[in-house]
Chains A and B, each alone.
Chain A
């Protein structure tokens, strides 16, 4: 299977905003994500996860190494990589429908086709009936569904997600995780999902990339061999094929977090 996203020996340095000191954020990171694969990046805070995502999205130029999507070198942002951000990044001055259709509007897709596609994704994320609402009228979970639909509707090659469920409450998060799994089955998107939540990473990922503390290095890769259809929280908690890799990831991440205190 051809890899959709290939990161090769990627390093990044930047001067600290206040002290001017050189910060080594990423060190020789190499990883690849296959077509239709759901990959998760886990690591302690400050390990350069978000820096990695910003580089992949093209929002940040990298200092060394290469990033390729579908065999093409990444230089700047582009519609081949869709991003779901951590905060609510949908525009407050656009209705749900116009937010979801925003990518298509930028691509210059005709209105009639756009409306059809938008409706498809409104239904997919369960926002039917809310098409004409403004974001401030939605709950936190609904805003993230809208953000997810906006990214999917533009049909990117790779979908990058930056801790998209970190700001919602625990119940909503569980629902959103199961729904994202359902959407991943339905759309077969290639996804790179960034999180600091070990359970979330193991629940969603086919493969988990574990990062070390700064400078962020790829420390280990853990595979989770649970069929997508079986990924439902109430069944998974006692499933060894889930708990074993989850515990392994937890151990690897804890090593990084507690190294300091010894």
Chain B
């Protein structure tokens, strides 16, 4: 048996046949894309000004991380340490918007789901705000907050909050009445119903809301950073494009996509598996 075969078998054992096949199938489009990219460079179809050679992307990482020596430099967000600085500030904004947007969206969503009066009061403004969600707020936000953290956070919160609010509201309304009644007949009060019935019952919908809001949030953030930011990946892409540093633009786009994939895989899918899948509330065909 050759070394290659042994290695292949041990990889199969580690990951499992099914999973390995899925990963392989999923990576085919990426391999094709990379192959075309490489072919473009070697055949000289489009000049490097439009599509830079793959190698220059790596160089861009080094150029942008020039001042980044040691963890302290990275974490102190020194301006010279551009690349990590941009990643961290984008991540920080998304993180902060989730920390504020998820609890407040769930709280108000549950209230609106429970009380008709509250729903009547909040739904129209929600539809109104949703219609101009995301980047449509950017010009106004710049006038109000200038460029920087507040503007981007405002844009993000506007996206995250309403999505979570509406998904929670719909989720609570969809919880079968009999669950609520059964807790009431056991002597449970409002608080028991909220924490033991409404929130877990609405969780499939809330998780969808979190996923959607992160997806839309990332897009809104990048757009907001391009126009109204002073740091972040969107800002970096915009500045690099203006300076014709196409390889930095490519790098920024790639990092955004990879970061989204990581958050989805590492955060949202495990969260789903631990809650609603275990409870049999959704099925994931595998």
Contacts and interface: CB of A to CB of B under 8 A. Distances in A.
Interface of A: 57-59, 77-79, 81-83, 85, 87, 89-93, 102-103, 106-107, 134-137, 150, 154
Given A87-B176, A87-B178, A93 B184 contact: no
A106 B192 contact: yes
B179 interface: yes
Contact of B187 (A79, A85, A91): A79
Interface string B173-206: 0001011011111111000100011001101000
B280 interface: yes
A58 B279 contact: no
28 contacts: A58-B184, A59-B181, A59-B184, A59-B185, A79-B185, A79-B187, A82-B186, A85-B178, A85-B182, A87-B178, A89-B179, A89-B182, A91-B197, A92-B279, A92-B280, A93-B201, A93-B203, A102-B183, A102-B196, A106-B186, A106-B187, A106-B192, A107-B187, A134-B278, A135-B280, A136-B281, A154-B186, A154-B187
Contacts of A92: 279-281
| Secondary structure call for the B interface | helix
Contacts of B278: 134
Nearest to A82: B185
A171 B138 CA distance: 65
Interface of B: 176, 178-179, 181-188, 192, 196-197, 200-201, 203, 275, 278-281
B277 to A, nearest CB: 10
Contacts of B187: 77-79, 103, 106-107, 154
A91 B179 contact: yes
Nearest to B280: A136
B196 to A, nearest CB: 7
Given A77-B185, A106-B192, 17 more contacts: A57-B181, A58-B185, A78-B185, A81-B185, A82-B185, A82-B186, A85-B182, A87-B176, A89-B179, A91-B179, A91-B197, A93-B201, A103-B187, A107-B187, A134-B279, A134-B280, A137-B280
A154 B183 CA distance: 12
A79 to B, nearest CB: 4
Contacts of A136: 279-281
Contacts of A58: 184-185
A83 B185 contact: yes
A193 to B, nearest CB: 16
A93 B279 contact: yes
Nearest to B281: A92
A57 B181 CA distance: 9
A89 B186 contact: no
A93 B196 CA distance: 9
A79 B188 CA distance: 9
B186 A79 contact: yes
Which of B179, B187, B192, B201 has the largest count of A CB atoms less than 10 A from its CB? B187
Contacts of A57: 181, 185
A80 to B, nearest CB: 9
